[in-house]
Structure 1
Amino acid sequence: MCNNHKNIPTRVLSVPSAKAPFEQTTIKRRDLRPDDVLIDIKYCGICHSDIHNAHNDFGRGVFPMVPGHEIAGVVTAVGAEVTEFAVGDRVGVGCFVDSCGECEFCLRGEEQFCKKGVVVVFNSIGYDGNLTYGGYSQKIVVKDKFVVRIPDGLDLDVASPLLCAGITTYSPMKHWKVGPGKKVAIVGMGGLGHLAVQFAHTMGAEVTVLSQTMNKKDEAFGFGADHYYATSDPATFTKLAGRFDLILNTVSTNINVDAYLSILNVDGTLVNVGLPNKPDQYNVFSLFAGRRSIAASNVGGIRETQEMLDFSAKHGIAPMIEVISADQVDEAYERVLRSDVRYRFVIDMSTL
Structure 2
Amino acid sequence: MRLFRFLRYLFIASLLCCFSVNASDSLRKLKVSLLLEHEAFLVWYGIEQGWDKEFGLEIDLSVKDVAGIDLMNDLKVNSGAWDVAGVGCVPAVIGSKDIDITYIGVGNNEATSTEIMVRPDSDILKVKGANPDYPEVYGSKETIHNKTFFIRKLTSASYILSNYLEIFDLTYNDVKVVDGKLSDFVKYMNDGNGDAMILWSPSTYEAQKDGYKSVATAAQVDAIVPVLFIASGEFAKNNHQTLARFLAMYDKAVKIQKNDPKSLVEPYKNFLKIYSGKDFSDDFCLYDLKAHPVYTIDEQLKLFDSESNMSAIEKLERHLISRIAMISMQPDAEYDPKEYKHDPSDLFLKIAKGIVDSKK
Q: Give the number of the structure whose residues are more often helix, by fraction.
A: 2
Q: Give the number of the structure whose residues are more often strand, by fraction.
A: 1
The bucket for the TM-score relative to the shorter chain is under 0.3
TM-score (ref. length: structure 1) = 0.23
TM-score (ref. length: structure 2) = 0.23
